[in-house]
Amino acid sequence: MHIETHGQGPDLVLIHGWALHGGVFAPLVQRLTPRFRLHLVDLPGHGHSRDPDENLDLPAVVSAIAARVPPAIWLGWSLGGLFALRAAATLPTVRGLAMVAATPRFVRGPDWPHAVEASVFARFGEELGRDYAGTLDRFIALDTLGSEHGRAELKTLRALLHARGEPDPAALRAGLALLDGSDLRRSLPGLRVPSLWLAGGRDRLVDPKGMAAAAARAPEARFVELAGAGHAPFLGHVDAVAAELAAFADNIGP
């Protein structure tokens, strides 16, 4: 698995969302390298992680990342939040958890109303086989839909999408299955580390109300809604995201 490291300071692991790679965090890297040592992960089948023997399996990937990084705060964006939350719930080396436009359950249920219909991910899975490129483009368009800087953010994501090669279709299907089928809500009350929940106020994929509900179940949790931000707040609202992460790390201490 490809993991690249930048900067000096407290360790921060960053895990990207569906179909992208660690390079998507470039705006955060510019602002955080003066004060953090950043470990940017390319999930299996994404970016530079092209080992055919690696699968997008939640516990296996978390273990593989943990074996390569020191004790750290783990940050997960969107799909990456599932890996970060799993790590925070199971590993003693996780010092803090930052969930960015991410939730323990991405699909709606009778007791979880503030999420998307399961048909959303099923439809993307069906369309992958018919129109691979178009499906990816439609998904990243959802990442920016509603954001006050949506046009610029979409341009950035389109430029980044294939910057490290095309994501593997099998990994994409596995990622959609994780988004559709994962439910990590039971792990929230037992979290042993502080957590930060950063939501985009205009996010069309992860409802801020769902993130607030998740944060309310975790001890030592702070929920922040960034007004005007969409599903990728570290693009159009990078200064606000960087400031919240810095304050979060300062409260955790050395």
Q: How far apart are CA 240 and CA 254, in angstroms?
A: 22
168 is a catalytic site residue: no
How many angstroms separate the Cα of 124 from the Cα of each of 104, 153, 201? 20, 21, 24
Q: How far apart are CA 242 and CA 254, in angstroms?
A: 18
94-100 and 11-15 beta bridge pairing: unpaired
Q: Which of 78, 147, 182, 195 is catalytic?
A: 78
Averaged confidence pLDDT in the chain: 96
| pLDDT one-digit tens code per residue, 45-64 | 999 999 888 899 999 999 99
Does pTM top 0.95 for this prediction? yes
Report the candidate in 232, 244, 236 with the shortest Cα–Cα distance to residue 203. 232
pLDDT above 70 as % of the chain = 99
pLDDT at residue 114 in the model: 95
231 is a catalytic site residue: yes
DSSP state of 167: P
Structural domains in the chain, sorted by start: 3-252 (3.40.50.1820)
pLDDT at residue 118 in the model: 86
**Are the beta carbons of 90 and 97 closer than 8 angstroms?**
no
| pLDDT one-digit tens code per residue, 201-252 | 999 999 999 999 999 999 999 999 999 999 999 999 999 999 999 999 999 9
What would you measure as the largest C-alpha separation in the chain, in angstroms? 50
How many angstroms separate the Cα of 177 from the Cα of each of 7, 11, 91, 151? 34, 30, 24, 29
78 is a catalytic site residue: yes
Taking residue 207's Cβ as centre, other Cβ atoms within 10 Å add up to 18
Q: Is the pLDDT of residue 117 over 90?
A: yes
| pLDDT one-digit tens code per residue, 134-143 | 999 999 999 9
Residue 172: pLDDT band (50, 70, 90) is very high
Q: Which of 195, 203, 207, 237 is catalytic?
A: 203
